[in-house]
Structure 1
Amino acid sequence: MAPSRWIRPEVYPLFASVGVAVGICVMQLVRNISTNPEVRVTKQNRIAGVLDNFAEGEKYAEHGLRKFVRNKTPQIMPSINGFFSDPKY
């Protein structure tokens, strides 16, 4: 069996989309294990038990992307949507 039988140019977009999905999953896992205040990896941190550190939890929940999109409209192309939906045009 030659490798060209399984790896054809038609499947490159599939490899790319699966690669992007796996990358997003890995990024989220690394973010959770490194910065989530509820995840404790080392033994010293696990001994501490449940901490009521609300500032650390707020910092984790209000990350930069959430702050950036907070006051934006939830539309991909607002000008085109407005053109086709608003009667004033």
Structure 2
Amino acid sequence: MASSSMNRWLRPEVYPLFAAVGVAVGICGFQLVRNLCINPEVRVNKENRAAGVLDNFAEGEKYSEHFLRKYVRNRTPEIMPSINSFFTDPK
């Protein structure tokens, strides 16, 4: 019984599905760990929860303005700029 279910799910056609689900679980896990560890609005310790609402704007700014957001802020929202400019810019 177990070998028939193994043969059903471990076919080469199913590998992309496993990869897509694995990437999605990885992204969700990364975001969960990121929020638990460095988000200023998430408080796991009892002492931090007892503090109530804090006005820690500097820490919130540091969390929201991460490296990737700073990197893409002044860039054009294009995936392939050279191909886009080849087809849209007049010569």
Q: Give the superposition deviation at 1:26.
A: 0.6
- The letter for the 1-side match of 2:8 is R
Asked if residue 74 in structure 1 is aligned to residue 72 in structure 2, the reply is no
Q: Give the superposition deviation at 1:70.
A: 1.1
In the TM superposition, 1:1-89 aligns within 5 A as: 1=1, 2=3, 3-88=6-91
Q: Which runs of 4+ in 1 moved over 2 A?
A: none
SS in 1 for 2:40: coil
- The letter for the 2-side match of 1:24 is I
Structure 1: stretches of 5+ with no match in the other structure:
none
SS in 2 for 1:12: helix
RMSD of aligned Cα (Å): 0.9
What TM-score results when the alignment is normalised by the length of structure 2? Answer: 0.91
What TM-score results when the alignment is normalised by the length of structure 1? Answer: 0.93
Q: Give the superposition deviation at 1:5.
A: 2.1
